[in-house]
Amino acid sequence: MGDILNISMVGVGGQGTLLASEILCRVGLLSGKDVKKSEIHGMAQRGGSVVSQLRIGEKVHSPLIAVGQTDILVSFEKVEALRFAHYLSPSGLAMVNDQEIRPVTVSSGQSQWPENLDGMLKSTFSRLELIPALDIARDLGNVRAVNVVMIGALANHTGISDDVWREGIRLLVKPKFLDLNLKAYEAGRNATVAVA
């Protein structure tokens, strides 16, 4: 990790993007780093976009990441990855949950859904990991664990120790969901990803 690691997390309301960013924030602090975070969640409760930007380093002065300066873009949904692609640096990594969530405007016929999303992702991002987080969470018995599966996959790219990640999850996840979320984290760390 360089001086400052810039991570943008994007998704739609209800996917657990904000909990994932809270876990990442706590993990950064537990690892002895300075952390700044910014969130935008407009119409999140109605399936709108949710964006959380985190900066982790020895000394971080601002929570905002400029366009083109994100090191890792973590997207919980394919179209959201494309919507926020301009935040990623040219050498940055896009980690995308292999899931499509069609908004009401598409299902009602008001908007068109893009064709060949995988092709669009591959042509947009020079470094791309497609992660089957929804399938993994479903196999674990709870689709709501997608966010922590993605956290597990992200952990492979931060240089922060496994113990610190697990502690961050323990501190923020309700006890009755802890076992599931630790399994989701582990599954994400060990996920076989499609790399473009």
Q: What strands, in cross-sheet order, belong to the sheet with 34-40?
A: 34-40, 49-57, 4-12, 70-75, 88-97, 128-131, 194-195
Residue 107 has pLDDT above 60, yes or no: yes
CATH number of residue 76's parent domain:
3.40.920.10
Q: What's the pLDDT at 103?
A: 72
Evaluate if pTM is beyond 0.85: yes
| 113 token code pair | 């859904």
Contact call for residues 136 and 98 (beta carbons, < 8 A): no
Which pLDDT band holds residue 182 (cuts at 50, 70, 90)? very high
| 184 token code pair | 């989701």
Which pLDDT band holds residue 1 (cuts at 50, 70, 90)? very low
Gap between the Cα atoms of 161 and 117, Å rounded: 34
Gap between the Cα atoms of 135 and 149, Å rounded: 10
Total domains present in the chain: 1
Q: Compare 68 and 106 and report the one with higher pLDDT.
A: 68
Q: What's the pLDDT at 67?
A: 96
Looking at 38-52, 126-140, 167-181, which range is the least confident one?
38-52
Q: What's the pLDDT at 153?
A: 97
β 49-57/88-97 pair status: unpaired
Please give the residue range of the domain that contains residue 25: 4-195
